[in-house]
Amino acid sequence: MKLSEVFEQLSVGELSQLSLGGAETGGIDPSNYAKVVAHLNLGLTALYTRFTLKEAELIIPLETGVLTYTVQAPDLLKIERVFDAAGKEWALNDEANLLACRTLTPTTLRIPPEFLAQNGMLRVGYRANHPRVETFRGSIDPEETMLELPYSHFQALLYFIASRCHNPVGMTNEFHSGNSYYAKYEAECMRLENENLETDQGGQYNRLRANGWV
């Protein structure tokens, strides 16, 4: 989807009563693009962390006697799968399996000695983040800026951005718009989770592929 679609929906919907959303000008003013994009980047990361929307892999050379490795990738959110040089998948974080690999931190992986003895490299599959949408001094073309987000998750993104934008307003007649929009965001995410609208691990896509997004 285009960034312009996000701006359009926010300006006629969730942000229509705020000056940031263009209440006085009929649309989000370019001077406010950077502010909205800052919230958008947080929203995309929140969705990509909660749902497996993008997977990537890294090849890590093994070192003699070294069992703990730091997985370095700017877009890494969570290590999810580990393969050896032959393509065999090893168990991950299985406490009952003595041969399982383990994540000590979201970006640190410990392999068993048996893995090291059999392989010269390991392949790590991880949950990846959305590329950051950059603005340079507020300059960005919404029509030319593409977002890697399926339309199934569009409404959740709008609710997240709305919550962030309304939070500074605070309480109005005992009503907190920011909290209300965050509750809507959580409810929408739960709906998406119940419908299993994400990618299957291993690069196999379920409903997203069926819907033609990937």
* Res 167: pLDDT: 76
∠31-74-150 over CA atoms, to 5°? Answer: 65
N-terminal to C-terminal alpha carbon distance within the chain: 12
Q: What is the pLDDT of residues 103-149, one digit of tens each?
A: 999 899 999 998 987 778 999 999 999 999 998 766 789 999 999 99
Single-letter amino acid, residue 202 = G
pLDDT class of 174 with cuts at 50, 70, 90: low
Q: What is the mean pLDDT of residues 97-107?
A: 93
- E strands of 85-181, at which residues? 89-90, 102-105, 108-110, 121-128, 171-172, 175-176
- pLDDT over 90 (residue 20): no
Between CA 33 and CA 45 the distance in angstroms is 18
Q: What is the pLDDT of residues 31-54, one digit of tens each?
A: 889 999 999 999 999 999 999 999
**Burial level of 137, CB count in 10 A (0-12/13-18/19+)?**
exposed
CB 150 within 8 A of CB 211: yes
Global confidence as pTM: 0.83
Positive or negative CA dihedral for 105, 108, 113, 115?
positive
Which residues on neighbouring strands pair with residue 128, listed in sequence order? 76
Q: Which of these ranges, 24-38, 75-89, 93-107, has the smallest mean pLDDT?
A: 24-38
Token code pair at residue 164: 């962030």
